[in-house]
């Protein structure tokens, strides 16, 4: 097993080839690849301690690995993620001829407790977006960023990755690059479109771009104080700061995406249309918002019915 561990560290062998496959063929993000790398590194180290080669792994070895993770105090979601990586690796090894069987084929992933996404109310969203923003370039940027997060349901990475060339306000569309580098068109209208247009054409974005440390202009829509692309960390801090100002603690960019989806469904949006806007590969991911809507319906019913 020492040879396999060294091959993993040295960038060759089935684990390294699987990671390359995920990056090149599947188009996973660098963050996802690193998560797979950590989980599979833990798995390889576990097998090394048991003296088991990857090609000789049995179902019992994988079940022992899962048990060790659970006994180690890891959350169900962490155990599921690790096992998902292990199952993917062994499928790849069988397909590519690294092994003659898939010992993980019958392994079941642990069942996660369903957790409904955090959402804010329509009134809370209005309070957040209608609050007075600083009359500065950064303030105009922050207002536009929050409006687009809620108005278009973008992920944080999609918002900070948005480039000027992909903003088509005259057509009411944004060309967004989502997970797996997949592009989709997202409609933008109303206050989100007005706020974004004002930020871009009022001189606020140009004011931030003027602070760039290089002569090459950054193509990003949302710029930081140095004229470069706004980071996800800065966007998170922005959401928290403006949320706290109107009494919403711990506001996260993804909360605004969840709220967009929930409010769209409550307003009568078709589930398939919403799936397309959100960029979900599987309709089952979008269906979580129908559960949120049902929860709200139940709350309204309990509050309003005289004999509930």
Residues labelled as active-site residues:
155, 179, 254, 257, 280, 289
Q: Which of 204, 185, 186, 184 is nearest to 144 (CA)?
A: 204
Number of H helices and E strands in the chain, helices first, is 15, 3
Measured distance CA(41)–CA(222) in Å, rounded: 36
Written as six digits, the tokens of 87 are: 């199952």
Exposed, middle or buried: residue 308 (CB in 10 Å: 0-12, 13-18, 19+)?
exposed
Measured distance CA(155)–CA(151) in Å, rounded: 12
Q: Which residues contact 105 (CB under 8 A, 6 or more apart)?
A: 87, 90, 91
Tally Cβ neighbours within 10 Å of residue 305.
8
Beta bridge pairs of residue 223:
229
Q: Which residues contact 147 (CB under 8 A, 6 or more apart)?
A: 129, 191, 192, 195, 196
Measured distance CA(297)–CA(308) in Å, rounded: 13
Task: Tell me the Ramachandran region of residue 123: left when phi exceeds 0, alpha when psi lies from -120 to 50, beta otherwise.
Answer: alpha
Measured distance CA(216)–CA(26) in Å, rounded: 32
Write b or e for each residue in 120-143: b if 16 or more Cβ atoms lie within 10 A of its Cβ, otherwise e. beeebbebbbeeebeeebbebbbb
């Amino acid at each position: 097993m020492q040879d396999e561990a060294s091959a993993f560290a040295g960038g060759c062998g089935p684990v390294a080839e699987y990671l390359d496959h995920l990056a090149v063929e599947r188009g996973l993000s660098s963050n996802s690849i690193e998560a797979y790398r950590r989980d599979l590194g833990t798995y390889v180290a576990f097998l090394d301690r048991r003296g088991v080669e990857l090609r000789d792994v049995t179902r019992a070895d994988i079940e022992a690995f899962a048990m060790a993770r659970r006994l180690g105090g890891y959350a169900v979601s962490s155990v599921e993620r690790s096992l998902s990586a292990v199952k993917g690796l062994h499928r790849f090894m069988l397909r590519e001829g690294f092994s003659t069987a898939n010992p993980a084929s019958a392994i079941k992933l642990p069942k996660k407790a369903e957790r409904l996404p955090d959402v804010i109310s329509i009134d809370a969203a209005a309070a957040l977006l209608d609050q007075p923003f600083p009359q500065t370039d950064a303030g105009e940027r922050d207002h536009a960023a929050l409006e687009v997060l809620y108005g278009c349901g973008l992920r944080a990475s999609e918002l900070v990755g948005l480039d000027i060339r992909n903003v088509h306000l005259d057509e009411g569309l944004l060309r967004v690059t989502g997970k797996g580098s997949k592009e989709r068109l997202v409609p933008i209208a109303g206050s989100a479109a007005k706020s974004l247009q004002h930020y871009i054409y009022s001189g606020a974005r140009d004011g931030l771009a003027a602070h760039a440390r290089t002569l090459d202009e950054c193509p990003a829509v949302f710029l930081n104080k140095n004229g470069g692309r706004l980071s996800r960390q800065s966007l998170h801090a922005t959401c928290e700061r403006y949320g706290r100002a109107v009494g919403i603690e711990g506001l996260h960019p993804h909360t605004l995406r969840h709220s967009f989806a929930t409010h769209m469904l409550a307003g009568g949006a078709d589930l398939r249309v919403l799936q397309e806007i959100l960029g979900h590969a599987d309709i089952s991911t979008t269906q979580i918002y129908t559960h949120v809507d049902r929860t709200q319906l139940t709350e309204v019913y309990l509050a309003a019915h005289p004999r509930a």
